[in-house]
Amino acid sequence: MTTALGATRFESTSRYDGYAWKPTPQSLSLLSRARQILGSSPRPMTVRQLYYRLVAALVIPNNVRSYQNLVGLLTKARKADLLDTSKFVDRTRAI
């Protein structure tokens, strides 16, 4: 595709091509703890279940902002292929 200025723009076939994310040490620590919890579970869990397990382990506080931050972190980690998505289940969406 060519832009209005005549420059050629790359058209990606995947929405995640070239996704670059530089997580902070705190994000990596939380992601590591989330992976431990997911790995210890015999079956996939929802994001909310993971959130409450992190709250129960006193890793994060129990408030809306913490939940939203966790969702954002998990989304970024998934896009960067740092998270095994087979460990999650979404019972509200048909795949």
The rounded Cα 79 to chain-centroid distance in angstroms is 7
pLDDT score recorded for residue 17: 57
Higher pLDDT, 74 or 21: 74
Query: Reduced to 3 states, what is the DSSP secondary structure of residue 46?
Result: coil
Kind and range of the H or E run holding 91: none
pLDDT tops 90 at residue 63: yes
